[in-house]
Chains A and B, each alone.
Chain A
Amino acid sequence: MTPALELNGITKRFGALTANDNVTLSLAQGEILALLGENGAGKTTLMNILFGHYAADQGTVRVFGQDLPPGQPRAAIDAGVGMVHQHFTLAGNLTVLDNVMLGSESLLSLRSARAAARQKLLQIAERFGLPVSPDARVNQLSVGERQRVEILKALYRDARILILDEPTAVLARPEAQRLFETLREMTREGLSLIFISHKLHEVMAASDRVAVLRAGQLVAERETSRTTPDELAELMVGRKVARPTRQDHQIGSPVVIANKVRVEDKGETHLDEVSFTVREGEVLGIVGVSGNGQAALGALLSGLVTPTSGSLTLAGQDLTPLGPRGMIRAGAARVPEDRHAEGAVGELAVWENAVLERLRTPAFSSHGFVRKATCKSYTADLIERFDIRGATPDTRTRLLSGGNMQKLILGRCLSTGPKFVLANQPTRGLDEGAIAAVHAELLDARAKGAAILLISEELEEAVALSDRIQAIVKGRLSDPVAAEDADARKLGLMMAGVWEEDADAA
């Protein structure tokens, strides 16, 4: 049988960078192929070539035995290739039906044509088990529903090969599970799928075959049933990576104490009587399904919001009136949830971001003037100490990869020997190598006696790093459990809010 798709010797260069180096890959009909690789390995470039978004410098793309003309998305669509981008390409103020029709049919088409389109959309939705309401505005849909619309858009154009770029990046775990069931369903209907990922457990759970890209080259292809996560991790990174593990040590006295903290905004309660204690040399993990108050907790501990009631102290000092600068001065280090939006100013140089929090201290300025030379040499040390690759003090920060930007942010706040560290989703979107580095830095701070509050949606991470774990559900915190007693089942129940019923029963 002809393969659904053949990539033959694809090479693509951007200036000095070779994004894809002679990649040859095929996809059988009805197969789910996972394309695995670290950030920057060339996965997205390869898929963009396949989809006609880029033209390859060398090599050919064949779809069902037919050569595709390079650089023409329209030809790829006509040949039955559909792409679901990581960042959705939907018009938020239009309806689902409008979005699906967009690009394939005129929005001014006659009523009868719209009716036919609606009919077709509903049929597809039914056939593949992707329920949607055609008249809902995309703005009002959840992220998972938007992705469904994105997939339907491709199916509506009669896609027989579907490419999904990091489809689970924006999904909570149950949604991701549902997505993979849908994908399996689609292969039964004869579709062939490629999904791009750097998450090993997903690849193991959902694919038939795995192709591993590293630095633009296809380094391995494996049957999923005949490989292990460890082997894939090693193939992907090119060396053995092991996440560091927590060493037992003496935990000291309480550093940060929150007592019945309430945060309300415009009549909405974001944090409801939250109490916790973080002690010297301890990591307290806060787990939970996304959107349960993590953002408010992060903002509270960054000094961005003041509680409506309750108390929050660091080594006895009241933190609530301090604001971000006061928190920093009091010895708090904060790693924000979104490094691009909050962590760093992308357009500034690395050195400027490195000193941004402490620009007004005598170390970095005198009489209102920035001590540039001192700042730069400090930054050079930071780059070396925290292994920030691809950076000099004068590099523009936005040119750093996600992992290196995160190391810069960690370096900025950990180099001062803080008493307290807030790490809010510190490894979101990072690849294996960078995750290991971030974990090592956090554990190093723990060993030096910092009290660390880790907010994470990755259970493996929370369990590996934390001494104790609390779950956050609808702005409320569960009682803490020791990490040793926290198995997946128990944490799952906690994240579902079951501890409250326990309390009622007792």
Chain B
Amino acid sequence: MRLERRAHVPLHLALTAPLAAVAVALCLAGGLIAAAGVNPLSAYVEMLTGALGSRRSVTEMLTRATPLILTGLAAAVAFRARLWNIGGEGQFFIGALVTAWIGHALAVPGPIGIPILMAAGMAAGALLLAVPAYFRLRFSVDEVVTTLLLNFIVILFVGMMVEGPLRDPMAFGWPSSVPVDGDFRLPDLVPRTRLHIGFLFALAAATIVWVILARTVFGAETRAAGLNAQAATFAGISLPRTLMGVALLSGALAGLAGAVEVLGVTAAVTTTMSPGFGYAGIVVAMLAALHPAGVVAAAIFVATVFVGADAMSRATGVPSFIADVIVAMCLLTMLVALMVTTYRVRR
């Protein structure tokens, strides 16, 4: 028995493989739920209704999906070019911090301020990834290590800022920054819910990224450089410029996620504002097989699991950590599914 590379990946296989991966992961996690003494089927029903059962739960789920779409895009863009950006979490936080910081000090009307703040968050995220990318290009420093470790540095820095210079005196001792001006809050998409127009921004970002990757010279060069750097260099593509461009785009997307979360949901930056959006973005990108359209679907799936797990936990007593288990298992089964789509088993 051996593995053989497929000449063509049939479209139906490329589309069903992620679904099969999710199904297998849910079965495996079902075993754990059963071990906790709860019927897995009824637990999953609770989960679905908890995430999709009402207007409130659907909007809550989409609110959760918004930053995941952006961090998922950040990871997908980078991974396609073989730039292993594990620092989405740090770029998210730096984007959030800069947005909150400037958003407190800025004195312009809302419609002008919001784009400025989002651009500031993007710039902050882009710069944060540009540093490890530079070190990778100049000194071959492994960006997996540097981007990962930068996450902790940034979160500690955020902690320092919200305990110190940016501390909100009105927060009753909670470590939180002063909130951004009310004018800069993103308008609600659905009245009387938390869902804000940032969700539309995320969808727009996915579309733009798709166009960039599929249609532009930059996208084509990125793909060539990611698939075979040596051949790309030989053909006259500048590897440093391509990789730096990818780093700026990826970092900007993760930074935008932070900015949108501040402007749309939290109003201020805290060290607990992200339940791991940056890391979950990696899973989202993998589940999407690094495709921008897939990222939107995968982010909605992951958000459903997270929001639904809370409801299920309340109803059945299964700890909501099961959400992390499900998402992690999805990542593993997706990796297997990707192998099955790329290779075939031959006797």
A interface residue numbers (CB < 8 A to B): 55, 71, 302-304, 323-328, 334, 336, 341-348, 352, 356-357, 359-360, 365, 368-370, 372, 396, 399
Chain A contacts for B220, CB-based, 8 A: 352, 359, 370
* B290 → A minimal CB distance (Å): 13
Say yes or no for B238: interface residue by CB 8 A criterion: yes
A–B complex contacts, Cβ < 8 Å, 12 sampled: A303-B236, A324-B233, A324-B236, A326-B236, A341-B230, A345-B232, A348-B223, A348-B224, A352-B224, A356-B237, A368-B217, A370-B220
A327 to B235, CA, bound (A): 10
Tell me whether chain A's interface is mostly helix, strand or loop, or mixed: mixed
B216 at interface, CB cutoff 8 A: yes
Question: Is B138 an interface position by the 8 A CB rule?
Answer: no
Contacts of A327 in B (CB 8 A): 236
B231 touches A345 (CB 8 A): yes
Supposing A360-B217, A396-B8, A399-B7 touch, asked if A347 and B236 sit within 8 A by C-beta, the answer is no
- For the complex with contacts A341-B230, A369-B215, A372-B215, 20 further pairs of A-B residues with Cβ separation under 8 Å are A323-B236, A323-B238, A324-B235, A325-B238, A326-B236, A328-B236, A336-B234, A341-B228, A344-B228, A345-B224, A345-B232, A348-B223, A352-B220, A356-B237, A357-B235, A357-B236, A359-B237, A365-B217, A368-B217, A396-B7
Residues of A close to B219: CB separation below 8 A: 370
Cβ–Cβ < 8 Å partners of B235 in chain A: 324, 356-357
Residue B221, interface by CB 8 Å: yes
A158 CA to B232 CA, complexed, in Å: 47
List B207-232 residues whose CB lies under 8 Å from chain A.
215-221, 223-224, 227-228, 230-232
The answer on a CB contact under 8 Å between B7 and A304 is no
For residue A32, give the distance in angstroms from its CB to the closest CB of chain B.
Answer: 30
- Tell whether B347 is near chain A: CB-to-CB under 8 Å: yes
Distance in angstroms between the alpha carbons of A390 and B8 in the assembled complex:
14
Chain B residues whose CB sits within 8 angstroms of the CB of A71 once the complex forms = 347
- A328 and B237 CA atoms in complex are apart in Å by 11
Partner of B230, one of A303, A325, A342: A342
The chain B residue with its CB closest to the CB of A375 is B220
Q: Are A55 and B231 in contact (CB under 8 A)?
A: no
Contact of B231 among A325, A328, A342, A359 (CB under 8 A): A342
Whether the Cβ atoms of B232 and A346 lie closer than 8 Å is no
Query: How distant is A230 from chain B, measured CB to nearest CB, in Å?
Result: 36
List the A side residues contacting B216 at CB < 8 Å: 368-370
Q: Which residue of A lies closest to B224 (CB)?
A: A345
- Taking CB as reference atom, which chain A residue is nearest B215? A369
Contact check, A347 vs B228: say whether CB atoms are below 8 A apart: yes
Complex Cα distance, B222 from A348, in Å, reads 12
Tell me which residues across on chain B come within 8 A of A341, comparing CB atoms: 228, 230-231
Q: Chain A residues near B236 (CB, 8 Å)?
A: 303, 323-328, 357
Q: For the complex, what is the distance from the CA of A356 to the CA of B237, rounded to whole Å?
A: 8
Within 8 A of A (CB), among B233-250: 233-238
* Closest chain A CB from B312 CB (angstroms): 41
Contacts of A369 on B, CB cut-off 8 Å?
A: 215-217
- CB-CB under 8 A from A55, the residues of chain B are 347
Give 4 nearest A-B pairs by CB, closest first.
A325-B236, A324-B236, A356-B235, A345-B228
Q: Given A304, A365, A396, which contacts B233 in the complex, CB threshold below 8 Å?
A: A304
B234 CB contact (under 8 Å) in A304, A347, A348: A304
B8 near A302: Cβ-Cβ < 8 Å: no
Contact status B227-A348, CB under 8 Å: yes
Contacts of B238 in A (CB 8 A): 323, 325
Q: Is the CB of B227 within 8 A of A302?
A: no
Return chain A residues, CB-CB under 8 Å to B218: 368
Task: State A323–B237 Cα separation when bound (angstroms).
Answer: 10
Question: B79-103 interface mask toward A, CB cutoff 8 Å, 1 = contact, 0 = none?
Answer: 0000000000000000000000000
Beta-carbon nearest neighbor of B2 in chain A: A53
CB closest chain-A residue, reference B211: A369
Q: Which of A328, A347, A359 contacts B221 (CB 8 A)?
A: A359
What's the Cα separation between A336 and B234 when bound, in Å? Answer: 8
| List of B residues within 8 angstroms of A323 by Cβ | 236, 238
